[in-house]
Amino acid sequence: MAQRETADRHVPVMRDRCIRLLSLGVGNVRAAGHRPVVIDATLGMGGHAEAMLEADPEVLVLGLDRDPQAHALAAERLTRFGDRFRGIHTVYDRVDEVAAEELGSDQRVAGVLLDLGVSSLQLDEASRGFAYSYDAPLDMRMDASADSPDESVAELLARVETAELTRILREYGEERFAGRIARSIISRRETQPFTSTADLAAVVDKAVPAASKRTGGHPAKRTFQALRIAVNEELEVLRRTIPHALDAVAPGGVVVAMSYHSLEDRIVKQAFARRTKSSAPKGLPVELEEHKPTFSSLTRGAELPDEAEIAENPRAASAKLRAAQKLTDSRRNPA
């Protein structure tokens, strides 16, 4: 696929805001006498990485992704940047390990970007089985390579029990009809295994009461989200990733995280809060050094995309952006 075609397929969410925030960290690391490195921990098709490389002619970008197809497309798109871009096939909870392994002695991590959830590439490729709008094999693995240890959704549904499936749908999909849907899936499985997205979507649709289908989009939306999160262990990986990303950046460095549903945003919000607020017990007359915050928030709550961006890129509608900066001696740098 040509570089232009890849770029046309992928419109990076809140691109300009992400680059402005990451550039703060780049400037701080450069001012400290080091070569700045930005880790795009969710490389996808390389849209944010491309924007960062264009914004600064000296920055090095490391692109992490567990999806081999994403690496192939991003590598083609970013080939013009030569050795300023390096793609690494791994899960993003290894962000701090990658930094330790890949950085030279004169380099420091100036920023980490996390654009969470399913990518445009995965949604648009019908054969990947992420979307209920296409009939495709029931897969949904972010790494669907032959040596991937992850099980597909079809494999999950072939073995899961009703109670566990109910928990998955309720916890990961916030599905109010989790019990009804789970029982319908297990009942149908007894006569025929699930192999396609259309088959699963039809069973879910039948299980959801008619009165509840009038609003809220396709009745299978939450079920597909929940199963995707489960097979990719997305929330467990994210809980590990945020502290690792915060540890990886140098003083003055910035971590930017964009989430697309409340489960992701809650994890990001809580992890940032633990680093940006004092941990001193209430009533302590003097705040000890170990209780002082080590990061400052660069956003007031979660920032949202504006109407113009949503009009250009409808998938940005649910995005929430949060950013935090590791404190330096100056304690804070304005966004």
* Residue 122 marked ligand-binding: yes
**What domains sit in the chain, N to C, each tagged with a CATH number?**
3-121+234-326 (3.40.50.150), 151-232 (1.10.150.170)
* Residue 135 marked ligand-binding: no
* Residue 47 marked ligand-binding: yes
Which pair of tokens denotes residue 133? 């709008």
Give the DSSP letter of residue 58. S
Q: Which residue has the tokens 């700045």?
A: 36
Supply the pTM of this predicted model. Answer: 0.87
pLDDT tens across 221-277, in order?
Answer: 999 999 999 999 999 999 999 999 999 999 999 999 999 999 999 999 999 999 998
Give the DSSP letter of residue 61. E
- CB distance 13 to 258 below 8 Å: yes
Name the burial class of residue 14, with classes exposed (0-12), middle (13-18) and buried (19+) by CB atoms within 10 angstroms of its CB.
buried
pLDDT tens across 189-223, in order?
Answer: 999 999 999 999 999 999 999 888 877 778 889 99
* Residue 46 marked ligand-binding: yes
Say which residues have a Cβ less than 8 Å from residue 274's Cβ, sequence separation at least 6. none
Which pair of tokens denotes residue 215? 């609003």
pLDDT score at 218: 84
Q: Which residue has the tokens 């991937």?
A: 148
Name the burial class of residue 158, with classes exposed (0-12), middle (13-18) and buried (19+) by CB atoms within 10 angstroms of its CB.
middle
Between β-strands 85-89 and 60-65, what pairing exists: parallel, antiparallel or unpaired?
Answer: parallel
Residues in the chain: 335
* Residue 139 marked ligand-binding: no
Low pLDDT (below 70) residues in the chain = 1-10, 118-133, 146, 279-280, 283-291, 329-335
Nearest C-alpha neighbor of 119 from the set 94, 134, 140, 102 = 140
- CB distance 39 to 111 below 8 Å: yes
Angle at 166 between CA 163 and CA 171, to 5 degrees: 125
Name the burial class of residue 281, with classes exposed (0-12), middle (13-18) and buried (19+) by CB atoms within 10 angstroms of its CB.
exposed
Which pair of tokens denotes residue 320? 């929430």
Helices (H) and strands (E) in the chain, counts: 14, 7
Task: List the beta bridge partners of residue 323.
Answer: 256
